[in-house]
Amino acid sequence: MTPRTPAPRSRRERPAKPALTYEGIVETAVRLMEAEGLQRVTMRRLAQELDTGPASLYVYVANTAEPHAAILDELLGSVDLSPTAGEGDGDGDWRDRLTQVLISYTRVLLENSALAHSALVARPSGSNNLALVEAILTLLHEGRVPGPQAAWGVDVLLQTATATAAEHSTRAHAVDSADEHNALVTAVRGASPGTHPRIAALADDLVSGTPEQRLTWIFHSVINGTLTTERPAP
Amino acid sequence: MTPRTPAPRSRRERPAKPALTYEGIVETAVRLMEAEGLQRVTMRRLAQELDTGPASLYVYVANTAEPHAAILDELLGSVDLSPTAGEGDGDGDWRDRLTQVLISYTRVLLENSALAHSALVARPSGSNNLALVEAILTLLHEGRVPGPQAAWGVDVLLQTATATAAEHSTRAHAVDSADEHNALVTAVRGASPGTHPRIAALADDLVSGTPEQRLTWIFHSVINGTLTTERPAP
DNA sequence: ACCTGAACACCGTTCAAGT
DNA sequence: ACCTGAACACCGTTCAAGT
């Protein structure tokens, strides 16, 4: 595509091969993920990218999950937290602004499909995740949600967003997606009113709504639950 | 352990090697999972168990995810739906009974760790899943939750339960678990009141409660959200 | 201390060839 | 139509040996 690149003198073509350090490994992992997806971020592939053997990486990371978690922490930096401060006025009440933050988070995970699965398991504790938690707590505080409920609610909110992203990520393969959706619709529509009266009665409602509508309702619903559900006395 | 088993005459030791059919494959998959965990239910291992090569299985199943989904459908049969009918009186109001069903579902997935991940992606549509959905809808109906909200709420309830199981499953490895929990506690406690005032203010609440207390609160909270959150006009 | 080659013990999936 | 051997293209992780 750019044929006038001069032929390299030595065989070190890469621009200053990244040093074999934890930071260098993570940096390469992020680049690799952006270029080819998380499924390619394997110890062997990573080692290849760093011009070494897989065994060398084990001096810096304990296992494959570690670079994956580091990538996740990195990406959490691109979540849009601006609705927290109520910038650009007219952004709606605290509920709507919290929903905006959660939808931004969901989108970040959705774009990097396989990452959502890591997020569900990894419990990121990096600084970007801390900032996200702080933002959610701030908005719940603005909404006068009692502290103890807010503290447990933030977990549910993030879990819901993460699970939604994880659910959709693997479903994103066009054909399979259609098949699976049809299987669900068929199962629901085929439910006999005799054995499954409630499913039969609500068949339309069960499969209605656009993904956006459902996601917005889900977040509002979980926010309301957090607001109205008292914690048991300790 | 039972040393008086007579030596087999032929080398066919297995009791009537299961026929190579879809049902036979699923049956073997379930047995293998119960004996060695889902991570051992691979095409190669399954083929070995059926005295054949992996290629042969592709006549009956499209990929590895298919037997996994079949196992999941099977296990959903052991979820305790009895609280739905209000049997054994004194089981509490509809909210408590719904929580009991959801906790039973969570436990089934928790016992079979890796399965929760499949559940998040597979959208099971087998008959046991249909019965579970019907049970949840019945309890929501008893609680006079408006149909359209119940229809969307059942998804959130199951997703929450599934995600909780998925989260805990991989965290069940004792040492890693302690490390990760400490990392979280350290991150929360170390949050400076200057940059993260809400986290600092709620540090204790963020990490308080037993898993059982938290899970019960989560279900009550999501149930309340479903009850009180109207769906947008279509 | 850091790095490596080589090995161990696996994967999913495809395909040409056989019965 | 069904089944198979063999291959292709990979995995994570460990460890003895080198520098």
Average pLDDT, chain A: 85
| Residues A20 and A53: beta-carbon distance below 8 Å | no
Q: What is the DSSP letter of A63?
A: S
Average pLDDT, chain B: 85
Which residues are CB-contacts of A33 (< 8 A; sequence separation ≥ 6)? A40, A41, A71, A112, A115
Nearest to B137 among A186, A195, A202 (CB): A202
The pLDDT, as a whole number, for residue B117 is 87
Residue at B210: amino acid letter: T
Q: Taking 80 as the threshold, does the pLDDT of residue A151 lie above it? A: yes
The pLDDT, as a whole number, for residue A10 is 35
Average pLDDT value for residue range B53-74:
94
Confidence band for A173, pLDDT divided at 50, 70 and 90: very low
Question: Between chains, do B229 and A208 touch, taking CB under 8 Å as contact?
Answer: no
Confidence band for B186, pLDDT divided at 50, 70 and 90: confident
What HEC string does chain B produce?
A: CCCCCCCCCCCCCCCCCCCCCHHHHHHHHHHHHHHHCHHHCCHHHHHHHCCCCHHHHCCCCCCCHHHHHHHHHHHHHHCCCHHHHCCCCCCCCHHHHHHHHHHHHHHHHHHCCHHHHHHHHHCCCCHHHHHHHHHHHHHHHHCCCCHHHHHHHHHHHHHHHHHHHHHHHHCCCCHHHHHHHHHHHHHHHCCCCCCCHHHHHCHHHHCCCCHHHHHHHHHHHHHHHHHHCCCCCC
- From the CA of B75 to the C1' of C16: give the distance in Å: 39
Of A128-142, B15-29, B94-108, the one with minimum mean pLDDT is: B15-29
Residue at A51: amino acid letter: D
The pLDDT, as a whole number, for residue B224 is 98
Domains identified in chain B, total number: 2
Chain A contact probe: residue of B222, B227, B228, B230 with most A CBs at under 10 A: B222
Q: Taking 90 as the threshold, does the pLDDT of residue B232 lie above it? A: no
Confidence band for B125, pLDDT divided at 50, 70 and 90: confident
- Residue scoring higher pLDDT (A21 or B15): A21
Asked, for residue B198, whether it belongs to a domain, the answer is yes
Question: Between chains, do B125 and A187 touch, taking CB under 8 Å as contact?
Answer: yes
Q: Taking 50 as the threshold, does the pLDDT of residue A141 lie above it? A: yes
Confidence band for B21, pLDDT divided at 50, 70 and 90: very high
Q: Taking 80 as the threshold, does the pLDDT of residue B16 lie above it? A: no
Check whether residue B156 and residue B45 sit in a common domain: no
Confidence band for B59, pLDDT divided at 50, 70 and 90: very high
Check whether residue B48 and residue B88 sit in a common domain: no
* Strand, helix or coil for residue A7: coil
Torsion of CA B160, B165, B171, B177, to 10 degrees: 70
Check whether residue A177 and residue A210 sit in a common domain: yes
| Residues A78 and A2: beta-carbon distance below 8 Å | no
Check whether residue A158 and residue A99 sit in a common domain: yes
Asked, for residue B94, whether it belongs to a domain, the answer is yes
Cα-flanking dihedrals φ and ψ of residue B14, to 5°? Answer: -60, 140
| Residues A222 and B156: beta-carbon distance below 8 Å | yes
Asked, for residue A119, whether it belongs to a domain, the answer is yes
Average pLDDT value for residue range B56-72:
94
Average pLDDT value for residue range A97-118:
91
Cβ-based burial of B1 (10 A; exposed 0-12, middle 13-18, buried ≥19): exposed
Question: Between chains, do B147 and A208 touch, taking CB under 8 Å as contact?
Answer: no
Which tens digit of pLDDT belongs to each residue from B137-152? 999 999 999 999 999 9
Check whether residue A89 and residue A22 sit in a common domain: no
Top mean pLDDT of A2-11, A57-66, A106-115, B123-132 is at: A57-66
Nearest-CA residue relative to C1' of C1: A59
Check whether residue B87 and residue B48 sit in a common domain: no
Asked, for residue A77, whether it belongs to a domain, the answer is no
The pLDDT, as a whole number, for residue B182 is 61
What CATH number is given to the structural domain containing A154?
1.10.357.10
Asked, for residue B132, whether it belongs to a domain, the answer is yes
Check whether residue A32 and residue A94 sit in a common domain: no
Q: Taking 60 as the threshold, does the pLDDT of residue A3 lie above it? A: no
Asked, for residue A76, whether it belongs to a domain, the answer is no
The residue out of B6, B35, B63 marking a domain boundary is B63
Which tens digit of pLDDT belongs to each residue from A34-49? 999 999 999 999 999 9
Domain residue limits at B57: 18-63
Check whether residue B123 and residue B36 sit in a common domain: no
Residue numbers in A near B137 (CB within 8 A): 198-199, 202
Nearest-CA residue relative to C1' of C13: B55
| Residues A150 and B206: beta-carbon distance below 8 Å | no
Residue numbers in B near A152 (CB within 8 A): 205, 209, 214, 217-218, 221
Check whether residue A37 and residue A109 sit in a common domain: no
Q: Is the CB of A45 under 7 A from strand D?
A: yes
Check whether residue A210 and residue A109 sit in a common domain: yes
What CATH number is given to the structural domain containing B26?
1.10.10.60
Distance CA B140, CA B58 (A): 42
Average pLDDT value for residue range B208-232:
95
Residue numbers in B near A222 (CB within 8 A): 156, 221-222, 225
Asked, for residue B134, whether it belongs to a domain, the answer is yes
Check whether residue B52 and residue B121 sit in a common domain: no
- From the CA of B191 to the C1' of D6: give the distance in Å: 58
Average pLDDT value for residue range A116-128:
85
Which residues are CB-contacts of A186 (< 8 A; sequence separation ≥ 6)? B125
Asked, for residue B25, whether it belongs to a domain, the answer is yes
Check whether residue B51 and residue B126 sit in a common domain: no
Q: Considering all nucleic acid strands, name the nucleotide whose C1' atom is nearest to the C-alpha of residue B65.
A: C12
Torsion of CA A37, A45, A68, B33, to 10 degrees: 90
- The model carries a pTM of 0.87
The pLDDT, as a whole number, for residue A189 is 79
